[in-house]
């Protein structure tokens, strides 16, 4: 009989967001007249920018013209898109990233998991706690961990707690680690990182031969000119970091799927015989073997983000969601809750009131005011006692949700 990958059996009962969906669906079936407002997952609600839509329509028309038709594209992504990304997202900020170091993909979620394909099983891996669950779960699937302990932590991972006391920015590990996951602006806490803070991590990584996986999916929400958008704004980062970005949150591509990963050609790792290996070559080989690339139509839509019209439209979208975050933050603060994030980030991180557990607060919000958020414990043991609220929704829904919570929920 065929056998399975037993590592999957070590995973907790269910991925966080499917469990939320299960509870919400059960409530909706039992209360069909309830108007549920979902501020849980980070899915966008507003339409794609007009420039992107027009570019995609034109690309569809291209596919009907034999002279313009595109079949398989380059696995790394079309050069015309990668060159614009290099120019607008990196070189404009003083980052010496070349288009050849950029890989187009169908999601940064996918890439942060798939990147493990090219790294060995004997690496010591550090994650913050709380953390985006994909980082942990994909390491479990890959066999990099043992079972969970009583706190829900997996043996074999180094957990770096983030909390209000350290401004939700982890301290450097006290032990040597090989792979480090950092996410800024942070999901789920909404925290941001200064250049000085990231410089400490780059220095640590270079001193210890570590590699940083830097998730910058929410960089477009940074409005503070003093905060870095890319880890490559830090000197030396090209020698120790891989950066992941997405078009999902800034341009609303959650349903059309387009993202990118930057692997500098100067980034090296060790083979088992002690020799240095160029990580770029391994990732290129992995993508060429396991991935056929993002569709021509979607890449044309992503390219339009860098047009003059696209830049203005994306800025408007980002501003809209940031205004939602401000509303959430201000209303909940006025209601007496301890609130974090929501500035330079689309997530608001809330301390649950009256000692409620994060899942109990989830159930109370759902059942009393029909509003859905995300329990902090779903992001890790240190997330217990906190709750994430997403700014990705319509203005009407955000305002109504805040009114329901502040007027009808006894906090």
Q: Is 410 annotated as a binding residue?
A: no
Q: Is 386 annotated as a binding residue?
A: no
Q: Is 306 annotated as a binding residue?
A: no
- Give the pairing of strands 211-215 and 347-351: unpaired
Q: Is 292 annotated as a binding residue?
A: yes
- The whole-angstrom separation of Cα 56 and Cα 47 is 14
Q: Is 250 annotated as a binding residue?
A: no
Asked whether the beta carbons of 279 and 118 are under 8 A apart, the reply is: yes
Please compute Rg for the chain using Cα positions. Answer: 21
Q: Is 204 annotated as a binding residue?
A: no
Q: Is 88 annotated as a binding residue?
A: no
Q: Is 232 annotated as a binding residue?
A: no
What residues contact residue 182 under an 8 Å CB cut-off, 6+ apart? 128, 193, 198, 201, 212, 213, 214, 215, 231
- The whole-angstrom separation of Cα 326 and Cα 399 is 11
**Residue where the block lists tokens 């999902």:** 248
Q: Is 296 annotated as a binding residue?
A: no
- 8-state DSSP, 88: I
What residues contact residue 312 under an 8 Å CB cut-off, 6+ apart? none
- The whole-angstrom separation of Cα 19 and Cα 104 is 30
Q: Is 105 annotated as a binding residue?
A: no
Q: Is 135 annotated as a binding residue?
A: no
Asked whether the beta carbons of 328 and 321 are under 8 A apart, the reply is: no
Q: Is 69 annotated as a binding residue?
A: no
List, as residue ranges, the binding site. 15, 42, 72, 108-109, 132, 187, 218, 246-248, 257, 292, 388
List, as residue ranges, the binding site for substrate. 15, 42, 109, 132, 187, 292, 388
List, as residue ranges, the binding site for pyridoxal 5'-phosphate. 72, 108-109, 132, 187, 218, 246-248, 257, 292
């Amino acid at each position: 009989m065929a056998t399975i990958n037993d590592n999957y059996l070590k995973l907790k009962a269910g991925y966080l967001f499917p469990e939320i969906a299960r509870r919400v669906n059960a409530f909706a079936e039992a209360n069909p007249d309830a108007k549920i407002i979902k501020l849980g997952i980070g899915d966008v609600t507003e339409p794609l920018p007009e420039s992107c839509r027009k570019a995609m329509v034109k690309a569809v028309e291209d596919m009907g013209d034999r002279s313009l038709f595109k079949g398989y594209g380059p696995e790394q992504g079309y050069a015309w898109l990668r060159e614009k990304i290099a120019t607008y997202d990196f070189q404009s900020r003083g980052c010496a990233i070349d288009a050849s170091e950029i890989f187009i993909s169908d999601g940064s979620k996918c890439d942060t998991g798939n990147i493990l394909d090219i790294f060995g099983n004997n690496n010591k891996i550090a994650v913050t706690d709380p953390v985006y669950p994909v980082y942990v779960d994909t390491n479990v699937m890959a066999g990099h961990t043992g079972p969970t302990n009583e706190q829900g932590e997996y043996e074999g991972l180094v957990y770096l707690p983030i909390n209000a006391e350290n401004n939700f920015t982890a301290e450097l590990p006290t032990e040597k680690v090989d792979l480090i996951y950092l996410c800024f602006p942070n999901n789920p806490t909404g925290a941001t990182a200064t250049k000085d803070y990231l410089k400490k991590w780059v220095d640590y990584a270079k001193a210890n031969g570590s590699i940083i996986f830097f998730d910058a999916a929410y960089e477009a929400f940074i409005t503070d000119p003093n905060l870095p958008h890319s880890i490559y704004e830090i000197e030396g980062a090209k020698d120790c970091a891989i950066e992941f970005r997405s078009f999902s949150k800034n341009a609303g591509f959650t349903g059309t799927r387009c993202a990118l990963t930057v692997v500098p050609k100067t980034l090296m790792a060790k083979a088992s015989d002690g020799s240095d290996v160029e990580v770029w070559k391994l990732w290129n080989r992995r993508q060429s073997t396991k991935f056929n690339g993002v569709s021509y139509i979607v890449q044309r839509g992503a390219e339009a983000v860098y047009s003059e019209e696209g830049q203005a439209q994306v800025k408007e979208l980002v501003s809209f969601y940031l205004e939602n975050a401000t509303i959430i933050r201000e209303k909940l603060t006025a209601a007496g809750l301890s609130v974090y994030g929501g500035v330079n980030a689309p997530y608001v991180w809330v301390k649950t009131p009256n000692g409620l557990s994060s899942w109990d607060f989830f159930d109370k919000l759902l059942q009393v005011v029909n509003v859905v958020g995300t329990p902090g414990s779903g992001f890790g043991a240190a997330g217990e006692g906190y709750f994430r609220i997403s700014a990705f929704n319509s203005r009407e829904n955000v305002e109504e949700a805040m009114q329901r919570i502040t007027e009808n929920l006894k906090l």
